[in-house]
């Protein structure tokens, strides 16, 4: 695999993992931080913004999943894909642990 395919695998995992919290909050009618909030990433965005943001992440993740050839089943692609999921998941859990306290 080329380095840029592995990079696509990593970011596919990150984008696809980021779909989950925004989609769940959006369709549940809850406000949640997005890059479009004021201040970005700290303020709370509306449920519709979260839903749309999750769909944008889904499209980006799907395109990167295809570009990274994750579905081909090669173990380096799968490992890097899951590393992207783990990285964004841990970073988001740390960042949003205090979202209700700010």
Query: Which residue(s) pair with 44 in the sheet?
Result: 33
Which residue has 């944008």 as its token pair?
56
60 close to 66: Cβ distance less than 8 angstroms: no
Name the burial class of residue 54, with classes exposed (0-12), middle (13-18) and buried (19+) by CB atoms within 10 angstroms of its CB: buried
Per-residue pLDDT tens digits for 6-65: 999 999 999 999 999 999 999 999 999 999 999 887 889 999 999 999 999 999 999 999
Per-residue pLDDT tens digits for 79-96: 999 999 999 999 989 888
Query: Which residue(s) pair with 45 in the sheet?
Result: 32
81 close to 12: Cβ distance less than 8 angstroms: yes
């Amino acid at each position: 695999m080329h380095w840029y395919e592995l990079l696509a695998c990593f970011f596919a995992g990150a984008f696809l993992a980021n779909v989950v919290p925004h989609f769940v909050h959006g369709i549940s009618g809850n406000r949640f931080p997005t890059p479009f909030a004021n201040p970005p990433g700290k303020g709370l965005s509306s449920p519709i913004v979260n839903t749309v943001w999750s769909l944008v992440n889904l499209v980006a993740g799907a395109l990167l999943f295809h570009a990274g050839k994750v579905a081909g089943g090669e173990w380096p692609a799968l490992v890097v894909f899951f590393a992207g999921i783990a990285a964004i998941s841990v970073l988001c859990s740390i960042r949003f642990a205090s979202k209700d306290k700010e």
